[in-house]
């Protein structure tokens, strides 16, 4: 959990651990590098290469009707990637409270961060061995890597209250986010060079993809050394429950406490629904582009690079809109854009990368802003003194509960055999999320949480 609560941390260790400014800056610089390390997994592996490649392996292993039969269960080959992503999030949901409680109870976040990071990096590096009909190995490695990055991000985020004073956390958090986008774009450029020039390097297309996948794991593991050298653990007060019990009890206690703030809980539910749609669009876009639109990997890499660059500009632009129109209205407007993106995606012609680039540009412009504004809006709805535990629940919503979208996408393809039907099925998440968010009276919710109501919200 990203919770450093008053009953676990010593008074002198509650935020910066008594470190002076120079030591704090040193830890912050190390902290940035974990985003720099792991973001290449999200971009190169999950968003670009693994979906189409694992789908191609699954189709090669499928029967004449296009079905696989793991454990005797009929699974359409094109649904395997979506199902594996959904399963990985379920695994993360189970593991995150246990690991978070262990970190809170012992104060030893760094060994746990190292374990999660290197398990994920090893699984990603192992994707080099995906060839032939090894679709089960691919699904297993995806589940392990994706669950590992979710667990590691909970631990990573839990350092922020310790390494940054309250008035500098926004800036520190933003720099970490920028480091992640920078590494993602840099590695994608290197991937593009290797993939497009694989013949000149004496490699097959499959070899180039497997090297791109494995190199993301090597990058993740190599740059994780920096935060592990610079971050330090803090002492905690003796006592406390076991990790498993306290983790789940803390989460359940937070949810029970939210019942006293039903408007905050209503917003969290709305966020859970529409964020599930956002995460599914991002994770399944490359499969849709390759399998339904017939686009090659070069086009997909270029499209994701557009998303990486425009997400920064989009977040800044939506931030300015929020100052004029309020965060809630701006988020609602972005959800309308997300819905139009899905409708446009349904009608996109095949073998037309220019239209896919336009769609990627639209995604980039609303991606960063819709998520950044959601986080900032939620911060106004948290009662004073409950920040850590409420944001733990928010983190679970953000990272741990986004399993339904991939499942719906996979089932839609399983039942129809059409990726166009699968992509349009995700409209339900944005429609329901918009209705739920529109019904939240945010000014009343802020006041009910005991916080000052901003002029624009």
Question: Taking 70 as the threshold, does the pLDDT of residue 385 lie above it?
Answer: no
Cα–Cα dist 330/166, whole Å: 26
- Mean pLDDT to the nearest integer, 426-436: 95
Q: What is the pTM of this model?
A: 0.74
pLDDT, position 11: 37
Cα–Cα dist 125/143, whole Å: 14
Question: Taking 80 as the threshold, does the pLDDT of residue 396 lie above it?
Answer: no
CA separation, residue 425 to residues 171, 172, 401, 421 (Å): 37, 37, 18, 6
378 half-sphere exposure, CB direction, 13 A CA radius: 27
Query: What confidence tier does 387 reach under pLDDT thresholds 50, 70, 90?
Result: low
pLDDT tens, 6-18? 333 333 344 444 4
- Mean pLDDT to the nearest integer, 33-48: 92
pLDDT tens, 133-163? 899 999 999 999 999 998 898 888 778 777 8
Per-residue exposure over 55-81, b if at least 16 CB sit within 10 Å of its own CB, e if not: bbbbbebbeeeebbeeeeeebbbbbbb
Q: In this structure, is the dihedral angle defined by the CA atoms of residues 213, 214, 218 and 220, taken in order, positive or negative?
A: positive
pLDDT, position 71: 81
Of the listed ranges 90-104, 261-275, 276-290, the one predicted with least confidence: 90-104
């Amino acid at each position: 959990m990203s919770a450093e609560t008053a009953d676990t941390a010593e008074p002198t260790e509650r935020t910066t651990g008594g470190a002076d400014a120079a030591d704090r800056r040193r830890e912050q610089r190390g902290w940035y590098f974990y985003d720099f390390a792991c973001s290449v997994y999200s971009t190169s592996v999950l968003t670009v290469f693994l979906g189409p490649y694992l789908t191609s392996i699954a189709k090669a292993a499928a029967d004449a009707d296009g079905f696989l039969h793991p454990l005797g269960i009929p699974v359409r080959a094109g649904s395997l990637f979506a199902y594996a992503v959904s399963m990985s999030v379920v695994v993360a949901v189970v593991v995150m409270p246990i690991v978070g409680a262990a970190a809170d109870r012992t104060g030893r976040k760094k060994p746990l961060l190292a374990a999660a990071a290197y398990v994920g990096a090893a699984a990603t590096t192992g994707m080099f061995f995906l060839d032939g009909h090894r679709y089960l190995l691919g699904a297993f490695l995806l589940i392990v890597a994706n669950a590992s990055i979710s667990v590691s991000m909970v631990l990573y985020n839990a350092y922020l209250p310790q390494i940054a004073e309250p008035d500098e956390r926004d800036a520190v958090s933003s720099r970490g986010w920028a480091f992640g986008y920078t590494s993602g774009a840099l590695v994608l450029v290197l991937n593009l060079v290797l993939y497009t020039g694989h013949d000149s390097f004496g490699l097959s297309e499959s070899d180039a993809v497997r090297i791109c996948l494995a190199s993301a794991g090597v990058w993740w593991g190599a740059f994780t050394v920096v935060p592990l050298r610079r971050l330090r653990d803090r002492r905690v007060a003796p006592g406390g429950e076991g990790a498993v019990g306290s983790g789940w009890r803390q989460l359940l206690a937070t949810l029970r406490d939210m019942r006293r703030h039903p408007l905050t809980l209503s917003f969290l539910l709305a966020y859970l629904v529409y964020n599930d749609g956002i995460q599914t669009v991002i994770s399944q876009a490359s499969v849709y582009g390759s399998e339904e639109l017939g686009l090659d990997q070069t086009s997909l890499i270029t499209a994701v690079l557009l998303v990486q660059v425009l997400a920064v500009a989009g977040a800044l632009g939506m931030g300015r809109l929020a100052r004029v129109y309020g965060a809630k209205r701006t988020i609602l407007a972005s959800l309308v854009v997300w819905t139009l993106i899905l409708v446009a995606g349904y009608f996109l012609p095949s073998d037309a990368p220019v239209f896919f680039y336009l769609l990627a540009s639209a995604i980039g412009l609303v991606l960063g802003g819709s998520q950044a504004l959601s986080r900032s809006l939620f911060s106004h709805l948290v009662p004073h003194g409950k920040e850590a535990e409420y944001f733990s629940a928010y983190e679970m919503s953000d990272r741990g509960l986004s399993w339904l979208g991939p499942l719906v996408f996979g089932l839609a393809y399983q039942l129809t055999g059409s990726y166009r039907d699968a992509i349009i099925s995700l409209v339900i998440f944005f429609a329901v999320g918009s209705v739920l968010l529109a019904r939240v009276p945010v000014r009343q919710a802020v006041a009910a949480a005991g916080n000052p109501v901003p002029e624009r919200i």
